[in-house]
Amino acid sequence: IQDAAQKLEQSDTVMIPASDGGYVLLGFKRAHTSLFSNIEWSTASVAAVTRQRIKALGWTLALLDPLHDIDEPADLKHLPVGWLAKIGY
Count structural domains, the chain: 1
Contacts 24+ apart (CB under 8 A), 19-23: 19/66, 19/67, 19/68, 19/69, 20/44, 20/68, 20/69, 21/45, 21/46, 21/47, 21/48, 22/46, 22/47, 22/69, 22/71, 23/47, 23/50, 23/69
- Which residue range is the domain that position 14 belongs to? 2-86
CA distances for 66 relative to 15, 18, 34, 44, 84, angstroms: 9, 5, 23, 13, 22
pLDDT at 28: 95
Mean pLDDT, consecutive 10-residue stretches, the chain (89 aa), reads 96 96 95 94 94 98 94 85 81
pLDDT at 66: 96
pLDDT at 47: 97
CATH number of the structural domain spanning residue 26? 3.90.550.10
